[in-house]
Chains A and B, each alone.
Chain A
Amino acid sequence: MRLLATQQSGAGTMRGGAFPQHSVRRIRPSRLVIHAFLLLLSFLFLAPLILMISASFSSETAISQYGYSLFPRSFTMAAYQYILQDPSQILTAYGVTVTVTLIGTCAGVLIMALLAYPLSRKDFFLRKPLSFYVFFTLLFNGGLVPLYILVTHYLQLQDTLAALILPYLVMPWYVLLLRTYFAALPRELIDAAKIDGAGEWRIFFRIVVPLSRPALATVALFCALVFWNDWYLALLFINNSNLVPLQYLLYQISTDITVLQTSSQAFGVQVPALSAQMAIAVLAVGPITLAFLLVQKYFVSGITLGGVKGD
């Protein structure tokens, strides 16, 4: 902060406000310091990722001799060869994660939007009580033990894909967010459609959904992130190795590389444990990194997408 204070005081030409088009052409030294600092900070934020990628391309001996480093001392693909030799386990985990993410996101967004829409309608006679019903789950929850007993003892969902999807299907925060968004759509459109004889379902799918594409996309993105990154439900409910999602497989590998049943173990070949762990981690973050680069503006807009009220 002290850096900012060093700026010259006669900053009459400079605007502190939000006008990027007024950008100052001459670069002040203090500005350079700010940029240098942010650049360094950005590097620090990316460093762990670089460390991971570098380790995945390092040889096992280099890691155990020199430790992890930001640049591989000797470039090798051995770790990837090792884990991709018999990729069936990783592919299964990938399959589980992709299935869960796809089903969970599509079903979740549909169900949440269908729930949010009636709550956004001022003429819906159950709007207030049902909004509170959704909202209350944000304030109070039963915690882990009742959920665990419910899913394993009463619903008998352990070792099913449903156990990885259903608990996260309806996220109250996003329901209320969608409700706020729907409520702001012009009422005249809905009334006009009604006069033309359109039913509620038709209005929802033909008018509300197309007009709310940005909000739905953002909610879908955050839902997909939740499902893609989830290991918690698997930790609680999954024992069957065919239903292990990617993140949970990574968790298992982080403590014990031999969880990965590749053929080389049978021949007693030395396991490149340290680099192989990192290689799998790279394979797991790859898609999410790509997705982020493509749709990052939706993430940013999602964070600032309006407040949530529970009245």
Chain B
Amino acid sequence: MEYERPAFPPSPKPAGVIEQRTPEHHETSSPPVASQSTSSCDVQEAGQPKLQQKHPKQRRKGWHWKQNSTLVSMAIPGLLTLFIFAYLPMFGIIIAFKDYRASQGILGSAWVGFQNFFYLFQTDDARRIVFNTLFMNALFIVTVLVASLGIALLLQEARQSNTWLARFYQSTLFFPYLFSYVIINYFVFALLNTSNGLVNHLLMGLGMHTINWYASPQYWPVILTLVNLWKNAGFWSIVYLAGIIAINPEYYEAASLDGATTWQKIWYITLPMLKPLIIINVLLSIGRIFYADFGLFYQVPRNVPQLFPTTDVIDTYVYRTLTALGDVGMSSAAGAFQAIVGFVLVLGSNWLVRRTDPERALF
């Protein structure tokens, strides 16, 4: 397993695991993280590996049950909340196969088989929302990865000359992550609003034609990508920076002795060492590629119908057909389609993760 300080060859810890060496994480961090504790466990019980598993069975049965029943009672409020707000809706997927009538309830409504799905896939909407969801999420995955890796590398360079400033950049870049999409909508509107927006005023200043942004769907994939980058790049650069910091410095020392340039170190040490983390993150995002960020796609384009060709995604479609049109059938069919395909994708991507790095797989 892992040791506190590997001599050679040094193995990078999976990022996400806090590295004790990093000064900014020092006070707040939590040394007892899973991987370390399991390793210490292994060391202690190396001689008698089966002991811990037999442990509870050696106790008297009555004590065992009483102790466990207390533990069960602790868990009950949480289990119950999950049952009501996560499991009951899962069973509610059957609504997609029914002709739902509020007066008859879910169970009382008549079964209609795949009819709702047939209606859904006969419309142009289905193709559009599936394409937009996949296309925009793919754009987001690539741009966030490239930008946050780039920022993390720059932050790492900056840390070496001025730690204080590097921390300032890190906080500032993370800052937008705190805003809700309602607030972000205000920002974007101040920039893009046709008559008063900053961008159009800049365009006018440059003697160019102003653009009616909220009526021009062709620009929105770029706009939403930038907004998504602005909100999330800081978050992910912290994740990757933690990964970079966890790389054993001896690699870099050895490379320096051999006269490697900074660029060579990045290309031959940093990026290869980050590769497992990058692969895992990308695979996990691919597992979620069927789920769009409702806030981003609902708030930022302000629900303007002219923008739907490029901004309407499965999540916004489900919401709109349910609340504005009151069409439970179509809406639940789209939702069920998303849940089932999404589930298959999560399983698939986790299977891939487990093949590349079982330690990082979700299950």
Contacts and interface: CB of A to CB of B under 8 A. Distances in A.
Interface string B302-323: 1000000000000100110011
A150 interface: yes
A9 B88 CA distance: 62
Interface string B6-28: 00000000111111011111011
Given A18-B21, A69-B198, A281 B30 contact: no
A199 B322 CA distance: 49
Contacts of B338: 143
A288 to B, nearest CB: 5
A37 B174 contact: no
B75 A130 contact: yes
Contacts of B197: 67-68
A309 B362 contact: yes
Given A204-B74, A247-B180, A303-B235, A16 B186 contact: no
Q: Which label, helix, strand, loop or mixed, suits the secondary structure of the A interface?
A: helix
A229 to B, nearest CB: 4
A63 B196 contact: yes
Interface stretch (B121-129, B157-165, B211-219): B157-165
Contacts, number: 401
Residue among B22, B24, B68, B331 with max Cβ neighbours from chain A (10 Å): B68
Given A250-B182, A255-B302, A288-B178, A147 B89 contact: yes
A41 B151 contact: yes
Contact of A297 (B24, B32, B161, B239): B24
Q: Which label, helix, strand, loop or mixed, suits the secondary structure of the B interface?
A: helix
A11 B256 contact: yes
Interface stretch (A88-96, A120-128, A258-266): A120-128
Contact of B82 (A23, A137, A204): A137
Nearest to B36: A184
Contact of B257 (A12, A155, A229): A12
Contacts of B331: 144-145
Contacts of B105: 153
Which 9 A-B pairs give the minimum distances between C-beta atoms?
A146-B92, A17-B249, A115-B78, A142-B89, A16-B252, A143-B335, A48-B187, A184-B32, A229-B180
Given A146-B92, A310-B362, 16 more contacts: A9-B261, A16-B265, A23-B163, A35-B158, A38-B169, A45-B175, A133-B82, A143-B318, A146-B90, A170-B78, A199-B70, A236-B323, A278-B190, A301-B29, A307-B14, A307-B17
Interface of A: 1, 4-5, 7-12, 14-20, 22-24, 27, 31, 34-35, 37-39, 41-42, 45-46, 48-49, 51-52, 55, 63-64, 66-70, 111-112, 114-115, 117-119, 121-126, 130, 133-135, 137-150, 153, 155, 166-167, 169-170, 172, 175, 180-181, 183-186, 199-201, 204, 214-215, 218, 225, 229-232, 236, 247-248, 250-251, 254-255, 274, 277-278, 281, 284-285, 288-289, 292, 296-301, 303-311
